[in-house]
Amino acid sequence: MSSWFSPRPASQSVSSSSSAAAAASSPARGSGAPIGPPSILGPQSLAWELPPVSGGSSPTPRTYSTFVEHDGQLWLFGGYGENKRSLNDVCVFKPQHNKWDSVLTHGDAPRPVYLHTAVVYDRKMWVFGGNVASKESDELHVFDFLTSTWSRVNFSNGPPARYGHAACVIGENMIIVGGCKKSNAYWKDSWSYNFRTRQWRKMNDVTVDLAYHTLFVHDNRVYLYGGYNGGTFYPHMNQLETNSGTWNVVQVSGDIPPPTCGCACVVFGPYLYAFAGYTQSGHMNDLYRCHLPSRVWEKIPCDSKPIARAYLQAALLGGYMFVFGGFDGTHCLADFRRLPLPPPIPQVGPEVNMTRILSDNDVGKALEQALRYFSTAQSPLAPGLTKAELIGLFQNFQTNLQTMRRSAANSAPIGPSGAPESEQDYTMRKYGVKFDTSMLSQILDIGFGREHVLQVMAKLHKEGKDTRNLDLVVHRCLNEPPEQPQPSLSRQNSGGHGGGSSGSNADVALLQAEIDKLKKQVAAKMDEDDSCSICLDNAVNCAILECGHVCICYGCADGLRNANQPCPICRKDIRSVVRIYRS
C-alpha cells in the first residue's frame, strides 16, 4: 500500500489553533435551543444487540466498505481488510434466515476497492470511485441484485477520480460530493448523475474541501454532515438549496456532537442517527441524533455499546440500525451489531392544521384545507400524498371530531374574579406551576385537548422531568388518557358561532361523513401502495392481531412491539403480530 494512506485521517494530530477554530465556528452546545421534539425516550436508553446469525459465510474484517439495504436484505461490498488487502467481494445478510452468504458474481466487476460509494436505484447498486491499487478511481460500476451481474458504465465529462467522497440518491439522480484526490489534497466539488440519461452535471461547490463525510436525504432535501480536510474536522451540517443550488450551513442547537468524520449514519423518520466516528479526541462509540425539522441534537444513552471505532458502515432495515466493521485504531473489525430505533410518532404536515380552524367552528374551512390534498373525483388522491400523511390526516380528522363533540364553551379561562385570566395565571392557579405557553400552543396544534396536556405536564413537573420536551409530552399524552372530559381547544369567545357549542349537529354529521370518506380512500390507497406506513420502504407483510390493521412490515411491527409503542392507526397496544404471505 502507498505510504500516503492510513486507516484514519491523514493528519493524526490537529493543532490547538485548528481545534479552537473548529470549536469557535460550531454552535454553542445547549445555548438558545428551540423547543424541539427531542426525546420520546425519556430516561430510557437504547440497547445494542448482536443480530442472530446461524451458519453461512460471515464477511471478513474490514473498514471503508459500503453497506446498503435492498428488498429486505443487507448488501456489503468491498473495503480494506487485514494484512493491508483491498476487497471486491459481495456479501449479503438475509434476516429472514439469520444468515450471511457470499455472493458469486458475474460480469465486469470492479477491481478491489475501498473508500468508494454505493447507492441503490432501480433494483441495482451503483458503485463509484474509491481507492484502487493505491490510486484514486473514477470508475462507475452497476451491480444487478437479481442476476448478481456486474457491468461498467462508460461516460465522459464526469467527475475527476477520487476516494473518501460521499453519495446519495434523490429522485432519479445520484449526488457525489467531495473526497480525496491525493495525500492531503481534497475536493469540494459536487456532481449529479442522472440514471435515466446517464449524464453527469457539475453542481455548485460546497464551502470547504472535504472527505470522510456523510450525505443523506430527508424531506426531499440533500444534507451533508461532518468530514475532514487534512487539518480540520468539519463541525457543521450543510443543506443543498433546491432553487439556488448552493450549499448553506444549517444552524443547529442542543447537545451537538463533536466534529466528526467517518461516522455511520441512517435517517429514520424525522431523525438523523449518527454513531461512532473519529474526532479530535480519537475514536468514539457514542450515538447522537438530530431532529431535522427543528435541527436539535441530542445524545442518546445506549447499553451494550460496541467498542469505539470509525469508518464503519450503517444501513436501516425493519426499524433497526445495522452497523458492520470499521477501524478501532489498531485492527479492522468484523463486528456486526444492530440497534432497535424508537418508532417516530406519525406527524401531519404543517399545512394540515385543522385544530385552530375547528376551534372557531368553521368546519367548511377545515374540510377545504384538508381536501386540498385531494385532486378530482376521477383521481381522489393527490400523487404527492404519502400513506403516512393519509393516516395522519385521518387521525387529525378523528381528533377534531372528538373536539367538536365536547360541550364545553370555546372561551378563555375565567378566574375567581369572573374575569378572563392568562394561560400562565390559569395553570398557576390550577396546577401550581407556570408552563411555557409557546410549548403548550405547539402541542394543542397537534390536536390534543388543553386540559389533557396540562394534566400530563403537571405530572411531568411533579416527576422532575422536562416539561419543555415536546416529544416526551406528546408521548405521555398518547399513552395516558385524560382524567376528565376535555374542553375545546380554543381560547376564543364562541360568540357568533352557535352559542358556545363546539359545533352544530349538522357540522358534526358533515365532518363524520368526510371522515368515513377519507377512511375509504385510505383503505384504497393502502391497496394501491403496499409499502409500510412507518419505514415507507418495505412491503406490508403482517397483521396486528389486537386491532386487525395491516399497515406495516414485520420488522417495524416487531420494533413497535419491543418499544411498547401502539398501532400507528388506532393507537391500540401491539402484543401479537402474524406474518402475511401473499400469492
In tens, the pLDDT along 115-134 reads: 999 999 999 999 999 999 99
**525 and 572 inside one domain:** no
Lowest pLDDT segment from 254-258, 322-326, 423-427:
423-427
When pLDDT is averaged across residues 82-109 and rounded to a whole number, the result is 94
**362 and 337 inside one domain:** no
Q: Are strands 247-250 and 253-254 parallel, antiparallel or unpaired?
A: unpaired
The pLDDT value given to residue 527: 54
Closest CA to 300 of 281, 321, 331, 282: 321
Does any domain span residue 275? Answer: yes
pLDDT classification of 105: cutoffs 50, 70, 90:
very high
Lowest pLDDT segment from 1-5, 37-41, 272-276, 427-431:
1-5
**CA-to-CA distance for 352 and 524, rounded, in angstroms?**
21
Does any domain span residue 304? Answer: yes
Number of domains in the chain: 3
Share of the chain above pLDDT 70, in %: 65
**Residue that terminates a domain, selected from 502, 529, 556:** 529
**Does residue 176 surpass a pLDDT of 60?**
yes
**Does residue 447 surpass a pLDDT of 80?**
no
**463 and 503 inside one domain:** yes
**374 and 450 inside one domain:** yes
State the CB neighbour count (10 A cutoff) for residue 395.
18
CB 336 within 8 A of CB 50: yes
Q: How many residues does the chain have?
A: 583
When pLDDT is averaged across residues 12-20 and rounded to a whole number, the result is 30
Closest CA to 310 of 1, 6, 2, 3: 6
pLDDT classification of 393: cutoffs 50, 70, 90:
low
**258 and 379 inside one domain:** no
The pLDDT value given to residue 313: 96
**Does residue 489 surpass a pLDDT of 50?**
no
Residue 58 exposed, middle or buried by CB count within 10 Å (0-12, 13-18, 19+): middle
pLDDT classification of 136: cutoffs 50, 70, 90:
very high
**CA-to-CA distance for 287 and 300, rounded, in angstroms?**
6
DSSP for 478-512?
A: HHS--SSPPPPS--S--TTSSTT-SS-HHHHHHHH
Closest CA to 41 of 205, 271, 227, 308: 271
Does any domain span residue 525? Answer: yes
**433 and 390 inside one domain:** yes
Closest CA to 190 of 200, 180, 168, 175: 175
The pLDDT value given to residue 487: 38
Most confident of 104-113, 474-483, 503-512: 104-113
Amino acid at 183: S
The pLDDT value given to residue 488: 35
Does any domain span residue 260? Answer: yes
**Does residue 219 surpass a pLDDT of 70?**
yes
**506 and 561 inside one domain:** no
When pLDDT is averaged across residues 232-261 and rounded to a whole number, the result is 92
Residue 464 exposed, middle or buried by CB count within 10 Å (0-12, 13-18, 19+): exposed
CB 444 within 8 A of CB 450: yes
Alpha helix ranges (H) inside 135-248: none
The pLDDT value given to residue 493: 33
Does any domain span residue 155? Answer: no
**371 and 471 inside one domain:** yes
The pLDDT value given to residue 318: 86
**CA-to-CA distance for 323 and 315, rounded, in angstroms?**
7
**302 and 396 inside one domain:** no
Does any domain span residue 226? Answer: no
**512 and 535 inside one domain:** no
When pLDDT is averaged across residues 516-528 and rounded to a whole number, the result is 58
**303 and 395 inside one domain:** no
Does any domain span residue 509? Answer: yes
**CA-to-CA distance for 432 and 273, rounded, in angstroms?**
38
**Residue that terminates a domain, selected from 514, 529, 544:** 529
**470 and 570 inside one domain:** no
Does any domain span residue 160? Answer: no
* Residue span of the structural domain in which 465 resides: 354-529
The pLDDT value given to residue 407: 36
**Does residue 507 surpass a pLDDT of 60?**
no
CATH number of 548's domain: 3.30.40.10
**Does residue 329 surpass a pLDDT of 90?**
yes
**Residue that terminates a domain, selected from 283, 315, 341:** 341
The pLDDT value given to residue 521: 58
The pLDDT value given to residue 165: 97
